[in-house]
Structure formats: structure tokens, C-alpha cells
Structure 1
Amino acid sequence: MSEQNRRLLLTVAMCMVVALVWSVFFQPKPRPAGTQQATPAATAPAEKQPPAVTPEPAVVPRGTTAPAPAAQAVRPPTRKVELLSDKLRIVLSSDGAVMESAQLRGEKFQKREKGVVVPIELVRVKSGEPFPLASSVRTANGADAVGANAAYSVVRADERSAVFRAVVGGVTIEKTFSLDATRYRLDLAVDLRAANPIAGKFALLSTGEGESGSGGGWFSSHTNAPARAICQAGGKLERIAVGAKTPTWDGPGTATFTGIDEQYFIRAVVPPSNAGATCHLEARGDGPLISTVEVPVDLASGRSFNQSFIVYAGPKDPDDLAAVAAPLKESVDLGFWSVIASVLLAVMKFFHRVVPPHNWGISIILLTLTVKVLTFPLQHKSMKSMQEMQRLQPQIEEIKKKHAGDQQRMNVEQMKLFKEHGVNPMGSCLPMLIQMPVWLALYTALQVSVDLYNSVFIPGWLEDLTAKDPYYVLPVAMGITMLLTQVLTPTPMSQPGQKTMG
């Protein structure tokens, strides 16, 4: 083994040891996903919940109607309502008419915590902060005509819908929630009436809890990506995480959606397209994330304000997102090479659909082989050009010695040599650069594909394709493969008279 190979082997080995030590001892440990501090109901398995109002003393029976109060001098007791569909379990609270829990239903979106299988919880807020879908009515001078913590009464509730009403200072606000039966969609209709004229804004909050992420890597689990506040406004998409250099952002134009974004899931609010909605993002240093959408209110005495919002709470699957609202597809971050990444994702889904046993791990292998085959001509051309350059190396060295003091003459003679032998000096690296976007897009596509979440490749070993290898077999195998490739690659002959191998 040459000295150069020994140095390379030592360098690669040291890098692997450093990465392993960093992962085990120094990498920041993220807070387990799905932990909610303020809602006990959010940690109960979704499949075992009764299809009725959350069992509390003050729950309104389904199908009943409560009289609308003329005034609310005394704060009514807190009441919670559970909405169920094939996709979601939603828990609403009369304290602000907010969403206290949003759990995904189905085996794919479950995880094990302390030996108990629980559904994925999408509502995670810091203690003391408002829950998602808290709303307020602000006057032109910034005062709250109706605060985010207003006490609501449950007017009506059934398995798929609930109506909440609050009366504050002559302002009556009614929020009607309707859960879609087959999609990750919750519709929110807001009806606002006032005894006196009001000019200001109606604000609807999306809240969450973020943290500074470690940045990920080969040895990181899929929970390392922190939540971020997200908004698309004026054709620009912005995400803000805890620790961002600029912790606030105001949309430059009409907002199309806003919410709390994670690596594989999102909670988003889509405002009415013709309402002139704007958005504001904020990521506080102690963890709270706030994404606010505001709609102008100009309410004359005795008139009403009616607006309908779409709420998405679910996985970042392009098809599911588009089925609820087309702009939500933009929340899937495919990076700079998004066009290539979209094609690669489509090919991977094709392999999963047509190749038994319909395993996502096998689909990834087939996709990688496909990309390898398609880029092989470029790789072969690069290797061939490299070999040609190595064959000319002795003559290049002679030119360097002969014209050591004349750089311009040296360059002229080298280019003349390349032209005589039909060699392009950039031929070895240019094909490599051309195929780099494909491999970068492949990496990004696999990073954001929710199809891989909780997908088993090899039972007992790779139980989740988005999580790290629990035994570090694959990283070690990759390192060994790199070392073997380097060792087995023949060293090119440096003298033209030497016999060529192979």
C-alpha cells in the first residue's frame, strides 16, 4: 500500500471516529416529538377515544343546543369537544374556542413512548402560550375588542362539527368548526357582529414550540429538525426557527397560508383568497413560535363579518396537501433542485407501487440504481478523461521542468499537448459537476419524503427509514466500502515505458 493510500485510510478512519463520538456524547438531544405540556387528552391513543365530547363534567352532549347568552358577566366553565374523522382526532376547548389537540389516526402515524403506542400529536405549545386557532378582534388603535382568551359557550356539537359563541363588550363572535371526513382538513367559519361600528383586524393564531436544532447528519434521528413558523405571502415563502438571526417577519403582500412547519408534518391556516389577509411570524428565544394571519374588519353597526378559513393538520404529502389547498404544496421544501427532486420522488413512488413487496427500502435501492445507471455515461467519460490525463503526466512534468521560469510558455505548450492528444483538461471534473445536482436532489428528496416516515425496511433492525441506524451498521459498512474502493483502485503508472495494468 502506498503512503498516499495509508494517509487516506487514516483520515477516513479518524473522521468516522470523530463523527461517532460527536453523535453519542456531544450532539444536542432534541425534545421528543409529540409532547404537550398543557393537554392531558393529547397523549391518549386516538383509536381508543370515545366518539363523543371529551369526558369532563362540563361537556355538552352531542346533538344538543345551548341558548345564546345575552352577556357573559360570569365566565362559563371550560368545555371540550372532540371531533373524529378517518384522518384526525381534534379536541377543541371553549377557552378561546381553540384547538388543544390534533392527533393523526392510523398505524403509520404512531410512535412508542415509555412502552406505550401513542398517535402523533401535532399541537405542542409552551405552557402559558395560546393554543392554535386562538383569535382576537383588534381595533384600529391596537386594543383588543375580543381577546384571544375570551370565554366561549358551546352552542352545538356533534362528531364532525362544533359551534362556539362569545359575547364581549357588545361584540358577538361565533366560530364554527367542521371536520372533513376523509381529508386532513378542518374548516373554520367566523361570524362577527357588533352593536357599535368596528374598524380593525381579525387575527387568527397558529402557535407551536420550537428549539434550536442540531443540524442533523448520518448519526441523527429524524426528530432533530425543529419546528418553524411558516408563511407564504406576496409570492415569497419564509420560515423562521428559534435562534434565527431575524426572529420576526412580516409578509410583503397577500398571505396564502401560514402556520407551524415541521420536517414531515404541518399545521397551516389558509385564509380566504379575497380577504386581503396578511401574516406575521415570530420565533422567540425561549421556544414559542407564533404565526398570525390577519384579515381587515370594517364592521358597521348592526352588520356582520363572515369569513371562512381552511385549517390543514397532517403529513406533508404533496397529494394530501393539494387536496386541501393547492398553495400548501409549497411547504414541502425540495431545495434549489426541486424540479429534479420532484421527478425522483415520482420515480420512487412508482417503484413502490409496482414492485412487490411494496417496500420503501427496496424502492430507494431501485431509485439509487436508476440514478446510477443514468449518470454512468458521465462518470465513465470523467474516468476516461482522468486516465488520459494520467497517461500524459510524464510529458506534462517535462514541460514544467523545461519552462520552469516562463509560466505563459508552459501553459501554451501544455495546451498544445492536450490538443495533439485530444484531451480536455476539464473533461475529468465537468461530468462530475453535471451530475452533482442529481445526487443533491436525491438526498433532499429522501430527507423530506413523509412516505418513509415509520416505514419498515428490515424488521428488527431498520424499523423506520427516517431514523438513524440503531446499530450503526450502514455508516460503518459505507466507510469500509470507501476504504476497499480506494485500496483496490489501481495506482496509475507514472512512466510511459511501464506496462499498463489490466
Structure 2
Amino acid sequence: MTRYPNFPVTKMDSKRLIIFIVLSLGILLLWQEKFAPKPQPAATVQTQTASDSTAAAQPAGANGAEVGSLARGQRIRVDTDVIHAEIDTTGGDLRDLELLKHDSTADAKKPFNLLTDGNGRVYVAQTGLLADSNPALPTHKTVFTSTQNSYSLTGDTLEVRLTAPVANGVKVDKVYVFKRGSYDIGVRYEIVNGGTNPLAPTAYYRLLRDGKSPDGESRFAQTFTGPAVYTEANKFQKVKFADLDKEKAEYTKDARGGWVGMLQHYFMTAWLMKPLDGQDICQIAKSCRFDMAAKDGLYSASALVDLKPIAPGQKFDLTVPLYAGPEEYSTISKVANGLEYSKDYGIFYIVASPLFWLLTKLYALVSNWGWAIILLTLIVKAVFYPLTAASYRSMGKMKALSPRLERLKEQHGDDRVKFQQAVMEMYKQEKVNPLGGCLPMVIQIPVFIGLYWALLSSVELRQAPWVLWIHDLARPDPFYVLPAIMAVTMFAQTFLNPPPTDPVQAKMMKIMPLAFSAMFFFFPAGLVLYYVLNSILSIAQQWYINRQIEQAKKVAQQS
């Protein structure tokens, strides 16, 4: 039998290797989180004066509206009980939107800013009308007028009316409709054809944003940021910014019964072609479709609605709702079909979705998301108890054989081939399967990952307190207590596992849990809470099983 040469590793070499790996991991994690520059799009956003922005938008690409610079006009301020909005008279764009019940990721004393065109960021909602027979129809470059520059909700609804210049006899008003306690904003076009010819315009509804990551997003807990579409026929599809840059994006164009939006961690915006409480836009139109485009570092996701001809002297109203708010399941599931898919569970949706459903039911019982996470962890642990018990029993038997492994190691010295043969023969005699501890754990991996995504994507945990110092389960533990406990439990668990036969691997198994636990210092507290409890329960279960094996061994020896 061919023997391969052994290259012995000295004790000093092992220490240096371990120190090097730990220091490298620590430096890498610290650099990525605190100092590494985030990717920036190459484009800069130019500002025009309102007087230069009255020209009609020319269709550029399939989205029907050019992705160009943002002109700035006067601002109309709107306040409701849940949002503060700013509408620009140029285009009647929704340029700024603050969610008053959600604090900023960077500064908890400020409201969360979802839409903005300031501080080097672009994320706005635009609309417009296009028609070959009347190129002067209002677009996102037209300057509107308003009777007020400030509105405040006093009743259940609030309308903000903007009027465009009359274009060849066609009068157009753009009306925003805000509702109490709602992130669902109605955008209504009132078109009066005062001309002499039929008018068949195309209305476009666009979300325009840069490709930067949301402010405050952790490098260790990133979720999808970018456009998405949903239709009843083709279901949910996400589109990467990189695919738009390369013009390789694939998504459904048919907008019937769907929505198009921009997603980010915890929050979203979406134009709704079929709201649950309204009319199906595509049924009253000649046709409607989705399109996306990229230009100069800005990305657009659009819905285009081809209207049926409006006869001279006739009026036509068209309302397309815009949802702009948190991805709270209880809210978005009542707005439009498929909007709940915006919670980014990735490929583990089939697992994460029912786990989140169970989490919401537990929250309904205890009225605290922290205790709901604890109950969910206990339930998942109980369900998988038979599998984990089989895994720990196998590892316990291998740990019980550790003294014999040491004797075999001394007996065969550096002859690894004979040592491995002797080890396998021992496992065969004792009826121990080395893979018995791995296979049950592998089966549980999809559930653990699904639970990870369910907790990571739950905006419901945002600003949700648990106990004492944990005031927000979506933010890292401010005093790092939970991550520290996690590090201790991961280290303690290594003593319950069978030690590797290789001494260098054995040392690495002691050090690596501590190195990897550094990531938990940047994870949301709710997520770390789950891992801490799961780790403690695992230690208790494994200790109990190991003790049973030892007692059974003593009984067998006495008999």
C-alpha cells in the first residue's frame, strides 16, 4: 500500500497558525463593517431649474420615460398621522417620504426616510402622460401648480390637487389621495379632452432610485435591494441592478393583475395594477405592461397603461395606488395579492413563510416579539428533538471512544494509514457510524436557514422591545450581552463533541467558534436571541444524552 509522507506540525507552528487565523478574521470583520467603502454608482444627479424642465419627456427605451436628471421646483408638504411627504411641483413627483412610526436606521431619534432626492441619494415616485397626438401632455418634467404649499390630514382622507398647463385643449389634474393610518397613496389623473380629436395617451408610473445599499444596512445581514414584479400568471420575480446594467434582466412584461416595486430591507414601494379594494387597472385600459431600465447609475421600475381613446368633450379618471411603507405582513397582505412576497426569504420562502406565520400567532398570545421568538425556538427544538437526539447519541458514543482513540494514536505513531484502519475497525466493532451525527443535522439545515431569513426579514421586530436593555430586536444588542453569551455557548459546546483525531484540527475546533461568533456582534438582537437559546438547549440535550451513554456504559461494565 502506498504511503504518503507526513509533515509534522510543531506546537509552536500550531499556535502561530491559530493566532494568524483569529487575527485575520478579526481584522477582516472589523474592516468590512467599519472602514470598507461601500460600492457607489458612477452617476451623479444633476439639478435643473424649474424653468428648464417644462419640456415633455421623450420615450427612451421601453419604459416610456427617460431616466435623466431630476429638476427641482417648489415643494408641497403633506402630513398625515403616519407619514410626512413632499411633492415637487416639477412633475408632481413624490420626492420625499418619511415614515413617522419607524425610526431611522442611523439615528433612532429621526423618522425613517424612505423616499428622498437629497444628500446624494435618489429614490422617488414619478408619473406622466405620453401621446403622439399631443406631445405637450404633462410628464415628470412638467411644472404643475397647486393652491396650497402645505396640507395636513384632519379627517379620514386628504386630497392634494396639482394642475398642469392646458395642452392643446386637454386639461389634466394630478390628485394625490392620502388616508388616515395608511401607507397606500392614491394617485389619480383627471383628464378632460377639450380638443377636437380623440386622445389615447399612455400613463406611466415609475419608481426611480440609485443602486446604493439602504442606509445603516449591516454587511453581515444584507437582504435584496432592487426592483421586483408580481403577476398572478408569473408570480414573484426579483431583478438585480447588475442585470439591468448588463441589459440581461428577465421578468414578465404583462402587468395584468400585478404590481411593480422597489424592495429593500424592511420597506418597499409598489405601483399596484390590481389593489384588493379597487379596480383592476388593466381591465379598464387598452393594455398595460411592466418595464425596467438603467441609465447613469439610476434604475427605474415602471408600469405603463395604454388608455382607451377619450372622445372630444369627455372626461376620464384613472387612479393607480402607490404603496410606500413597511413590509408588515398584516398590512401588505390586505393591499394587493402577492405583496407579501416582498419579505425577502430568498429560495427558503417555502420554509420561512410558515415559520413567520407561526411566529405571528405566538406574538398574538404573548404580545412581545422577544418571548414569541423564544416560544418559536422551543417549538422548533421540540419538533426536531428525535433527529437531534440521534445525532447527539452518535456523537456521544464517539466521545466515549476518545480514550481508545488516544491509545490507537500512541500505538501507531505517525503511520496514519494503519491508524485510520484501526479507527474504522473500532467503529465497526462498537457499531458506531461516524456520519450518524451529521446526517440528522443536515436535514435540519433548511429549517434553520428558513428561520434565519424569517427573523432577519421581519420588520415587525423593528423597534420591538424584549426585556431590560433590549429595546429594539432589529438592532444589534447595544451592550453585546447576547453575542457574548453566544460565544461562550459555542465554545462550551466543543467540549461535548468528540475531539478530532488530528491535534491541529482539535485546537482549531476550540478557536473557530469564538472567531465566527464575532459576526453575531453585528446581527439583529432578535436573531441572536434565537441562536443563543437554541445553543443552550442543544448543550443541555447533548449533556443529558452523553450522561445517559456514560451511565449505560458503567452498568454494562458492572454486569
Task: Name the residue aligned to 2:61.
Answer: none
TM-score by length of 2: 0.64
In the TM superposition, 1:392-403 aligns within 5 A as: none
Q: Is the 8 A contact 2:363 2:372 kept in 1?
A: yes
1:100 CA drift (Å): 2.7
Task: Name the residue aligned to 1:65.
Answer: none
Task: Name the residue aligned to 2:103.
Answer: 110
Task: Name the residue aligned to 2:140.
Answer: 148
CA distance in 1, matches of 2:307, 2:353: 40
Residue type matched to 1:110 in 2? D
Matched, 1:484 2:479: no
Matched, 1:132 2:124: yes
Matched, 1:363 2:356: no
What 5-or-longer segments of structure 1 have no aligned partner? 39-76, 399-403, 495-499
Q: Helix, strand or coil for the counterpart of 2:347?
A: coil
Segment of structure 1 superposing worse, 358-367 or 377-386: 358-367
Task: Name the residue aligned to 2:228.
Answer: 230
1:319 CA drift (Å): 1.2
1:441 CA drift (Å): 0.7
Distance 1:343 1:235, change over 3 A: closer
In the TM superposition, 1:346-385 aligns within 5 A as: 346-355=357-366, 358-385=367-394
CA distance in 1, matches of 2:265, 2:152: 33
CA distance in 2, matches of 1:446, 1:379: 22
1:436 CA drift (Å): 0.6
Q: Is the 8 A contact 1:210 1:289 kept in 2?
A: yes
CA distance in 2, matches of 1:128, 1:428: 52
Segment of structure 1 superposing worse, 431-440 or 193-202: 193-202
Q: Is the 8 A contact 1:85 1:181 kept in 2?
A: yes
Q: Is the 8 A contact 1:184 1:324 kept in 2?
A: no
1:297 CA drift (Å): 2.9
Distance 1:261 1:101, change over 3 A: same
CA distance in 2, matches of 1:103, 1:453: 16
**Offset from partner CA, 1:452-489 (integer Å, 9 cap, x none):** 11223455x54432223445444344233322222354
Matched, 1:257 2:266: no
Task: Name the residue aligned to 2:475.
Answer: 467
Q: Helix, strand or coil for the counterpart of 2:114?
A: coil
Residue type matched to 1:376 in 2? Y
Task: Name the residue aligned to 2:299.
Answer: 289
In the TM superposition, 1:12-411 aligns within 5 A as: 13-14=22-23, 17-23=26-32, 25-28=34-37, 80-106=75-101, 109-111=102-104, 117-125=109-117, 132-139=124-131, 145-154=137-146, 159=153, 160-166=158-164, 167-194=166-193, 195=195, 196-199=197-200, 201-211=202-212, 227-233=225-231, 234-241=234-241, 246=246, 249=249, 251-255=251-255, 256-271=258-273, 272-274=281-283, 275=285, 276-284=287-295, 286=297, 288-302=298-312, 303-355=314-366, 358-386=367-395
1:270 CA drift (Å): 0.5
Distance 1:92 1:244, change over 3 A: closer
Q: Helix, strand or coil for the counterpart of 1:86?
A: coil
TM-score by length of 1: 0.71
CA distance in 2, matches of 1:91, 1:387: 63
CA distance in 2, matches of 1:348, 1:261: 23
Matched, 1:439 2:431: no
**Offset from partner CA, 1:38-87 (integer Å, 9 cap, x none):** 9xxxxxxxxxxxxxxxxxxxxxxxxxxxxxxxxxxxxxx96654444333
**Structure whose residues are more often helix by fraction:** 2
1:447 CA drift (Å): 0.7
**Offset from partner CA, 1:176-214 (integer Å, 9 cap, x none):** 221122322111222334423444521112123331589
Residue type matched to 1:230 in 2? A
What 5-or-longer segments of structure 2 have no aligned partner? 1-9, 48-71, 274-280, 412-416, 503-548, 552-559
Q: Helix, strand or coil for the counterpart of 1:146?
A: coil
Q: Helix, strand or coil for the counterpart of 1:102?
A: strand
Task: Give the fraction of aligned pairs with identical amino acids, expressed as a percent.
Answer: 24
Q: Helix, strand or coil for the counterpart of 2:456?
A: helix
Task: Name the residue aligned to 2:506.
Answer: none
**Offset from partner CA, 1:125-154 (integer Å, 9 cap, x none):** 368998734222223599674331212233
Task: Name the residue aligned to 1:57.
Answer: none
1:89 CA drift (Å): 2.9
Task: Name the residue aligned to 1:58.
Answer: none
CA distance in 2, matches of 1:205, 1:492: 58
1:320 CA drift (Å): 0.5
**Offset from partner CA, 1:245-264 (integer Å, 9 cap, x none):** 64674742322112222211
Q: Is the 8 A contact 1:174 1:190 kept in 2?
A: yes
CA distance in 1, matches of 2:115, 2:389: 51
Matched, 1:429 2:475: no
Residue type matched to 1:228 in 2? G
Residue type matched to 2:491 in 1? L
Distance 1:152 1:285, change over 3 A: closer
CA distance in 1, matches of 2:39, 2:307: 41
Q: Is the 8 A contact 2:192 2:316 kept in 1?
A: yes
How many aligned residue pairs are there? 438
Q: Is the 8 A contact 2:291 2:302 kept in 1?
A: yes
Residue type matched to 1:297 in 2? L
Distance 1:284 1:476, change over 3 A: farther
CA distance in 1, matches of 2:75, 2:29: 47
Residue type matched to 2:103 in 1? Q
**Offset from partner CA, 1:251-308 (integer Å, 9 cap, x none):** 423221122222111121102242432222234563x332211011342541444322
Residue type matched to 1:323 in 2? K
CA distance in 1, matches of 2:452, 2:100: 29
Distance 1:200 1:361, change over 3 A: same
